[in-house]
Amino acid sequence: MKIALFIPCLVNQMVPEVGIATLELLEKLGHQVILPAGQTCCGQPMTNSGCFNEAKKTTLKLLNAFKGVECDAIVCPAASCLVAAKENFHEFDDSPEAQAVIEKLYELTEFLHDVAPIPAFSKPFPHKISLQMSCHGIRMLELATPSEQMGPRMNKFEAVLAAIPQIDIVYPDRQDECCGFGGTFAVDEGAVSAKMGKDKAQAHAATGAKYAVGFDPSCLLHIDGMVRRQKLPIETRHIAQIINAAL
Amino acid sequence: MSTSTSNVHAHKAEIFCRDESRVDWHSKALWALREKRDRAAGSIPEWEQLRQIGSEMKLHTLTHLAEYLEEFEQNCIKNDIKVHWAKDGAEHNRIVHEILAKHQVKKIVKSKSMLTEECHMNPYLEERGIEVIDTDLGERIIQLAKMPPSHIVVPAIHMKKEEVGDLFHQKLGTDAGASDPLYLTRAARRHLREQFLSADAAMTGVNMAIADKGAVVVCTNEGNADMGANLPKLQLHSMGIDKVVPDLDSAAVLLRTLARNATGQPITTYSSFYRGPQDGGEMHVIIVDNGRTDMLKDKILAESLKCIRCGGCLNTCPVYRRSGGYSYNYTIPGPIGIAVGAQHDDTNSIAWACTLCGSCSYVCPTKVPLDKIIHHHRRLKAEAGKLPYGKSSYMPLVGKFMASETALNCSMAMARTALKILPGSLLKPFSGAWGKYRELPVAPNSSFEAWFKKNRG
Ligand code: SF4
């Protein structure tokens, strides 16, 4: 398939290794990958704060970067940015061209589960990993059944990773409780955000896993900051890095 | 200004967070309720269907509210119940006082009413010489401690049993240092019996008002609503206009989810239906608007009126559990407190006391879309020019900055360099709340875009 990468500002600027792993793994799977120019931010810091006027220009800039780009799918390795992009594109532009972009948007895990599943992994990953079930992916993108919901359960995140040979998947206590990042919440509500992050980091470490693995780089950045502040024996990794290592 | 600054959610939460062991205890106690709720909800195969039906039924009632309220009133009158309408809290309090004054009531026993809290009824009646006794154990505890509720279902959840023991020792004369819950509960029971026997009137909240029967339903675990309503001849029930449901079947749907979602019980110990006065007595129902009609005008805010006050969203909320009920600058805390209280919040901060994680919306038995409502409140505040935390000054800059690749690239390159060459301790003061609580990110050498150009360009 021909895939356009949607690399949000945070990934581009702060965790390029996540972008690289995403690119490499998609290439290893035989896809043609391009990076449309002119991407900055999905507008989430502004719209999450209620500031829709301030978000408009940024959002439309990102949307324009994808309009008219020839591809089968637009893939993003950051769940909350993807959710925001979808919602904000819709909010500020209801043209058919915008709709065409929105319909091609996929979060990486979602893409690998629903659209182009990985036929087989070539290398084992003999480590214990603790899954970070970030809220926007779970509850807004439906990557997994949230713990509040009753009835049959599904979990795309686990399903994609479980196919890797010798991987050992565990969950932290209070499986999908929010880690407390919440965008500007991390700064506005520093004390509560930090306490939530601390609890989450400790819960991951308490599993004895080597890595806390997630699909949302912003949550991972926050948890990583808490892990290092408390000197916990665990490291954070993005799902793309784990998959890339096993291909 | 100084009062409103100190009432800002982040400020109060920061104070609550200073005692970490207490935060952990609080968080754990409420999470235990969430776990009980999960077990109870999971025990009924049709749980998600019940939520869907509950949501649709409430929405239906809210969109035909005038008709159902009229039907309810007419059937009440047929049942010899006196119905009153109050447009706001002040009018509600005035009506209650008039009824009580007419009967020369000196003492009233009360049960289960967040609405009277919302209307600030207790101080109003007390100023007029009427003693008000809250009879739910938790409510009586905080009343004796002269505190407002910190939770809508377990109002004294923030108090440890030792603290209750001290309070009872002072107020009820229990043994000093006694903190055994059974002992304390027995003491409270003795004390409350005296109150029931000496009260001249009883008042309760309303969980559901059944339109086609002209009846009100009150759910309690201690039987105190019944004790109150059956002893004196005068009984009053206060309800918001949102409490009406069409019929018994719809009430039954909510009864199946309410207690399960609140405390994990299959149903509250007592679900009392009142549909008329005692022989020779009087029964009054006061129907209160207090801003609800205004909420109905906004399609998104209107859905908060589907709430049946189970408290489930508070128990699951990771922010509420770590910031406490008193940090919200409104009588009702937590997600539903933000949904119905953000308009009244003069600090303009509680709408931001949320990570938008969405857990509340999934926990809710009537599918109140709490995260969407909270997000919407932020937008309404922004449009009204009421942003907290300096957002009104920096958000336009962030907007401009993010929309410009050059600005973003240059400054982020600078930030990466700074993160690399400056010692962390030097950077921390500049990175504000992030660096205060967390280690700063380890800076990469280049952006992904630069890497891509070099390696795939
Ligand atoms: S909003 Fe829903 S979960 Fe929260 S108290 Fe109301 S009914 Fe319960």
For residue range B76-89, list pLDDT tens digits in order: 999 999 999 999 99
How big is chain B by its Cα radius of gyration, in Å? 25
Find the mean pLDDT for residues B18-26.
Answer: 97
pLDDT at B427: 55
- The two structure tokens encoding residue B448: 């992904």
Indicate whether B112 pLDDT > 60.
yes
- Closest residue in B to A47 (Cα) is B379
Cβ–Cβ gap B399/A188 under 8 Å: no
Beta bridge partners of A236: A212
ipTM score over 0.90, yes or no: yes
Kindly state whether A172 is in contact with chain B, defined as any CB-CB distance less than 8 angstroms: no
User: What dihedral do alpha carbons B15, B21, B23, B27 form, nearest 10°?
Assistant: 180
For position B2, what pLDDT does the model report?
41
Q: Is B137 a residue whose pLDDT tops 50?
A: yes
Contact A229 B440 (CB under 8 A): no
Put simply, whether B7 touches A (Cβ < 8 Å) is no
Residues in chain B with CB shorter than 8 Å from the CB of A151 are 45, 47-48
- Taking the alpha carbons of B300, B306, B311, B315 in that order, is the dihedral positive or negative? negative
Is B426 a residue whose pLDDT tops 60? no
Show the low-confidence residues of chain A (pLDDT under 50). none
User: Which amino acid is located at B216 in the chain?
Assistant: V
Amino acid occupying residue B221: N
Let me know: does B73 contact B83? Beta carbons within 8 Å: yes
Looking at the predicted structure, is the pLDDT value of residue B405 above 80? Answer: no
Q: Does A224 contact B at CB distance below 8 Å?
A: yes
Choose, out of B437, B439, B445, the residue to mutate when testing the contact with A (most A CBs < 10 Å): B437
**What is the arrangement of strands in the sheet containing A73-76, beginning at the earlier edge strand?**
A32-34, A2-5, A73-76, A105-107
pLDDT in tens, B319-376: 999 999 999 999 999 999 999 999 999 999 999 999 999 999 999 999 999 999 999 9
Instruction: Tell me the CA–centroid distance for residue B369 and ligand 1, in Å.
Output: 10
As a whole number of angstroms, the distance between CA B457 and CA B451 comes to 9
pLDDT score of B393 more than 80: no
- Out of B63-77, B153-167, B407-421, which region has the weakest mean confidence (pLDDT)? B407-421
Q: Under 8 Å CB-to-CB from B247, ≥6 apart: which residues?
A: B210, B211, B212, B213
Backbone phi and psi for residue B5, each to the nearest 5 degrees, phi listed first: -65, -45
CA dist., res. B166 & res. A168, Å (int): 50
pLDDT (average), residues B134-155: 94
Ligand 1 atom at minimal distance to the Cα of residue B262? 8
Chain B CB within 8 Å of residue A238 CB = no
Given pLDDT bands bounded at 50, 70 and 90, which one contains residue B404?
confident
CB neighbour burial string for B331-368, b if at least 16 within 10 angstroms, e if fewer: bbbbbbbbbbbbbebebbbbbbbbbbbbbbbbbbbbbb
Distance CA B323, CA B346 (A): 19
Establish if A54 touches chain B: CB-CB under 8 angstroms: yes
**Which of A35, A49, A138, A228 should one mutate to test binding to chain B, selecting the residue with the greatest count of B CBs within 10 A?**
A49
**From the CB of B258, is ligand 1 less than 6 Å away?**
no
Q: What is the DSSP letter of A144?
A: B
Banded model confidence at residue B247, pLDDT cuts 50, 70, 90: very high
Closest CA to A237 of A207, A204, A206, A190: A204
How does DSSP assign A202-223, residue by residue?
A: HHHHHTT-SEEEES-HHHHHHH
- Residue B407: is its pLDDT beyond 70? no
Nearest to A54 by CA among B383, B393, B400, B348: B400
Does residue B5 surpass a pLDDT of 80? no
Is B438–A51 a contact, with Cβ atoms under 8 angstroms apart? Answer: no
